[in-house]
Amino acid sequence: MSEEAMYLFYHPGDFASRAVWLFTLQFKEEVQVQVVGVDLTQGEQNSLLFKAISPSGTLPALIHGNVRLFEAGAIFQYLAELHPTLYRRYLPAEPAARATNTMLV
């Protein structure tokens, strides 16, 4: 994995944010993320600064070097593909299992 810092923009009340955050906790040895809170109750997701990260203003969002992602499914896939052991767990070889994992994101 790249040694560049990885930032996860999240709010604990947002289901998708929480899912990605919990994923990073489960694999904290492989995925080291700095969590940045976005206060939905204050409308921070609508700020120009945040919209530069997530044009739709949605959470979660991830920055890793020049990579900027929003939408939980894209973030899960990116994190999994950075690490072969995560890839095999998150994106199994069997098509039905892979589709089920993707559907749940």
pLDDT in tens, 21-80: 988 887 777 778 899 999 999 999 999 999 999 999 999 999 999 999 999 989 988 888
Q: Which pLDDT tens digit goes with each residue over 84-96?
A: 776 677 677 788 8
Higher per-residue pLDDT: 10 or 96: 10
pLDDT on residue 105: 63
pLDDT on residue 8: 96
Please give the Cα distance from 50 to 96 (Å, whole number). Answer: 36
